[in-house]
Chains A and B, each alone.
Chain A
Amino acid sequence: MKKITLAFLLSLGSASLAAAAEQNAQDIVHWTPTTWAEAQRDMPKGNAAAGEKLHSTLFCASCHGAKGESTTNNWPSLTGQSVAYTYKQLLDYKNHVRNEDDRSHLMVVVAQMLSKQDMADLAAFYADQPKPCPNGLPKPAPSLVTVGDPKRLITPCAACHGANGQGGVNETTALRGMPRDYFIRTMNMFREGHRNNDTFKGMSQFAKPLTDQEIAMLADYYACTEQSSLAPQAKR
């Protein structure tokens, strides 16, 4: 916990609580493929046990679930995400690259307290947990997932997020078992440009042409509420 104490002491004190989450748009540095590749090379080796301790002492569980498996419709599951994904999101919060609404505002403040080692530890812990939705996604998959829509230049979701929604080889989100409301909120945020931490608009360009109905349908598909042991209230 020494690192965290240090981060606390170095932070700007009481008036910075609100200010910590606000930064001028021109000061925010977005990723390029080169800088992101460098950041990954620079990532310390994560220690899952240290990550579990941070998960508890930083109260992550109060929103994301006892081990990071969200049991509500509102908050994302962290289990099953790749190390690269979690590490990048935490870096993005810390650097104000991701700050799309009040909820992420809270994460921006939390991330200020984390060192790169802390972030790698947390990422290792969540990647170690059992994946949500163990029986897999519903069948058949919607055509948007498997073939996309060439007319609107929409690449199939599975191309980046995996045929089983398990996430990509790199920092792409694992979507399998993602709570429905969070999925819809996130897609709307990408569509409207409030969330823009996707390198080279890798997500937002495909979110923009989607209709509300399509987003809701994809949310249902990836939430896989029928098979999952997630929140029973999410059953529809």
Chain B
Amino acid sequence: MDTMNRRNFLKLTTAATAAAASFSAGTAFAKDAAHVVVIGGGVGGATFAKYMKMYSPETKVTIVEKNKEYQRPYGSSEVVVGRLDMKDITISYDALKNKHGVNFVFDTVTGVDYDTREVKTAGGTTLKYDRLLVSPGVSFDYSQIPGMDSPEAQSKIVHGWDAGDQLLTLQKQLEAVPVDGTVVLIPPPNPYRCPPGPYERSGLIAQWFINRGDKNAKVIILDPKNGFTVDVTMLQAWNRLYEFNLPESFKGYTAEERATFKKYDKPGKIQWIPAAEGGRVVKIDADNKTVECEAGVFKADMINLIPPLKAGKIALDMGLADKSGWCPVDQKTFESTIHPNVHVIGDACIAGQMPKSGYAANSQAKVAALQIKALLAGQEPIEPAYQNTCYALAGRDDYGMFVADFFRLKNGVITRDEFARYLPFNASDAQYRLSAVYLHAWMNSFTQDIFS
């Protein structure tokens, strides 16, 4: 959205406020009860609302969300390969409403007035807030990839990186890949949502080919990066499972570790071409399914492009992002450094060394709830701690891995504690298997933590 549009977006409320009846859903609350309005009912917004009500039952909390049910993006690549249905990743807001007393307005935000502290929706609702929390997720930026700037190209080549029907599109495209076919998967540059995700999806697809008895079908990853979260565990797994040849340029292993890798005569079921070996994509032809990268031209039967990411559109419209496309915040309270009384959490915010993940958004939401409780009471914010774990599958359902981190605030920046983050290089088979068990258990308990 350009500057003009953004100004209109921000002005809209001021013009409309006088006429609009103010929102009166929470009549059970005392008149002076604080009201926190949450924009976005994803992992960040939903966790925040639940924990805000648990930490401070007297505070009124209202989520504005356009969808009546939530589709979880975490773990949703399992839909692409048919291990899960859409109903398996669809979650009700009923417990937040009925058990935790969170108000919902199912509507689209059309404007905000930071002076009068009002949010306006398309349906004509005006919400007055004491604190506003924005958890908008991500939006996708195709402008840097020649050939992908038209809606037509974007309908043929989808990302499937924000749940929704695109997952089913990818599922159908995968089923249509002929025997011995080729899938080209293009991960985004840093920073992006779910760092191990593109690689897990690559493994899931390679395994899906094996499961259908396809010996020669392959996944080619064309990467603008030279490494990724959990790479040392993932590449080792692929070498064992998918005849994956380790790129010469990869620097993540010691010489001894590298010597344990098998070398295959021909490219296996997964090939990874990092930036150092020409993986950066320069052009995509959506009609002919060809991808040109610095290393050459690849003809594909299916292309899965996850384009560069930015903060969710609503955050851009609200003027909460800086030039990077992400939202700068005070990393202790997640209060926007651009607009006071507005907090931004989750993928959209700049949170030091924390990755953009559902787990991180959940952890940030709990910190934000404690901080907003303190701020509403006129108290000092607490000294926060944060955590993140990302689980991933190598492809096969019993070969898992993870990265686990703890963070603290150091000089105003969320900083990782230095501990071993990954499984050791010589982990046991039981540990890979248990990691997969933990991944599936985490999906359940994490979803319960947010929505039950």
Contact = CB atoms under 8 A, between A and B. Distances in A.
| A and B bind | yes
Interface of A: 1, 4-5, 7-9, 11, 13-18, 57-59, 62, 102, 105-106, 109-110, 113
Interface string B406-446: 00000000000000000000001111011011101100110
Given A14-B398, A102-B444, A57 B430 contact: yes
Contact of A57 (B431, B438, B445): B431
A187 B437 CA distance: 27
Contacts of A8: 428-430, 433
A1 B424 CA distance: 14
B198 to A, nearest CB: 22
Q: Which 3 A-B pairs have the closest CB atoms?
A: A14-B397, A8-B429, A4-B430
Contact of B429 (A5, A62, A102, A106): A5
B397 A5 contact: no
Given A9-B429, A59-B434, A113-B430, A17 B398 contact: yes
B428 A5 contact: yes
Nearest to B404: A62
B126 to A, nearest CB: 38
A4 B396 CA distance: 19
Interface residues of B, number: 16
Contacts of B441: 102, 105-106
Contacts of B429: 4-5, 8-9
Contacts of A5: 428-430
23 contacts: A1-B428, A5-B429, A7-B430, A8-B429, A8-B430, A8-B433, A13-B398, A14-B397, A15-B397, A16-B398, A17-B436, A18-B440, A57-B430, A58-B431, A58-B434, A59-B434, A59-B438, A62-B438, A102-B441, A109-B437, A110-B437, A113-B433, A113-B434
Nearest to B428: A1
Contacts of B430: 1, 4-5, 7-8, 57-58, 113
Nearest to A59: B434
A111 B438 CA distance: 14
Contact of B440 (A11, A13, A17): A17
A15 B440 CA distance: 13
Nearest to A54: B430
A57 B398 contact: no
Contacts of A16: 398
Given A4-B429, A4-B430, A110-B437, 14 more contacts: A1-B428, A1-B430, A8-B428, A8-B429, A14-B396, A17-B398, A58-B430, A58-B431, A59-B431, A59-B434, A106-B437, A106-B438, A106-B441, A113-B430
A182 to B, nearest CB: 15
Contacts of A18: 440
A56 to B, nearest CB: 10
A5 B437 CA distance: 16
Contacts of A9: 429
Point out which of A8, A13, A58 has the most chain B C-beta atoms below 10 A from its C-beta.
A8
Nearest to A2: B428
Contacts of A102: 441, 444-445
A215 to B, nearest CB: 21
Contact of A17 (B431, B437, B444): B437
A17 B398 CA distance: 7
A5 B398 CA distance: 14
B428 A4 contact: yes
A219 to B, nearest CB: 19
Contacts of B440: 17-18
Interface string B87-106: 00000000000000000000
Contact of B397 (A17, A62, A110): A17
A81 to B, nearest CB: 22
Interface string B373-403: 0000000000000000000000011100000
Interface string B274-287: 00000000000000
A62 B391 CA distance: 14
A9 to B, nearest CB: 7
Contacts of A106: 437-438, 441
